[in-house]
Structure 1
Amino acid sequence: MAEVKPTRTARRGRIFPEIQWTEEQKAQREARREKFYQRCKPIFDKVKSELIETHYNWYIAVEPDSGEYFIDKDLEVVSLQCREKHPSKIHYAFRINETGVCGTI
C-alpha cells in the first residue's frame, strides 16, 4: 500500500503587516541612533589603540552607561556576553580595526 504524504502549501508574503514610518519618525529614530553612537564611540576610541595590536578584526560590544566592553572573535558571542551582564541595556558593536566598521559600501 502506498503511503500518502500530506501536501503543505508554503506561506507567501509577510506574517505581520509592514510598518509605515513617517519621515518625521524616521528622522527621530536616526537621531536617537546617532546620539547613542556618540555615547559609545569615545569608549571604543579609548581602548582601540591597545586592542588593535592583539585583537585585530575581532568584535567589541560597548555598554555606554557602565563603560564596560566585551571582546570576542564572533559577533554573536560578544553580543550575548554583553546581554548576560546587562540584560536590560542596549549595546553597540564595533569591529576592532582602523575604522571600527565591518566593511565598506
Structure 2
Amino acid sequence: MISERTRLVIEQSRRIFELHRQEWVATHSGQFVAIEPDSGEWFFAESFDSAVRAARTKYPDRLCHTLRIGHEAVFFIGQMGS
C-alpha cells in the first residue's frame, strides 16, 4: 500500500501530464518526464534515471512522479513473441 502523500503526488503529477499530453507526445515521445507537482515543474530525459536525477537535483526533499511519454508503462518486463 502506498502512503497518502505518494498517492497525492501521483494524482497531481498525472493532472499536469494530462494538461500537456498532446504537446509532449508530439515533441518528446519515448522520453521520460519526472514531474514535481508542488512546483509544477517537469524534467525531460532520455532515461528514467536522468529524469529523476534532474528533479532530485533541483528538489532533493520532494517526491516526483515519472512517466514515459507515449507509452502505457514506464518499463516493460516480459517476453515479446515466441
**CA–CA distance in structure 2, aligned partners of residues 49 and 98 of structure 1:** 13
CA RMSD of aligned residues (A): 2.0
Stretches (4+) displaced over 4 A: none
The answer for the alignment partner of 1:58 in structure 2 is 31
The answer for the alignment partner of 2:13 in structure 1 is 40
The answer for the alignment partner of 2:22 in structure 1 is 49
The answer for the alignment partner of 1:76 in structure 2 is 49
The answer for the alignment partner of 1:92 in structure 2 is 65
Q: For each residue in 1:23-62, what CA deviation from the matched residue of structure 2 results, as whole angstroms up to 9, or x when unmatched?
A: xxx3xx3554333211111111111210101211110000
Q: CA deviation at 1:83?
A: 0.5
Identity among equivalent pairs (%): 25
Highest relative contact order (Cα 8 Å, sep 6+), 1 or 2?
2
Change (3 A) 1:74 1:33: same
TM-score (norm 2): 0.79
**CA–CA distance in structure 1, aligned partners of residues 5 and 59 of structure 2:** 20
The letter for the 1-side match of 2:37 is P
**CA–CA distance in structure 1, aligned partners of residues 11 and 39 of structure 2:** 15
- The unaligned stretches of length 5 or more in structure 1 are 1-25
Instruction: Give the secondary-structure state (helix, strand or coil) at the position aligned to 1:42.
Output: helix
The number of residues matched between the two structures is: 77
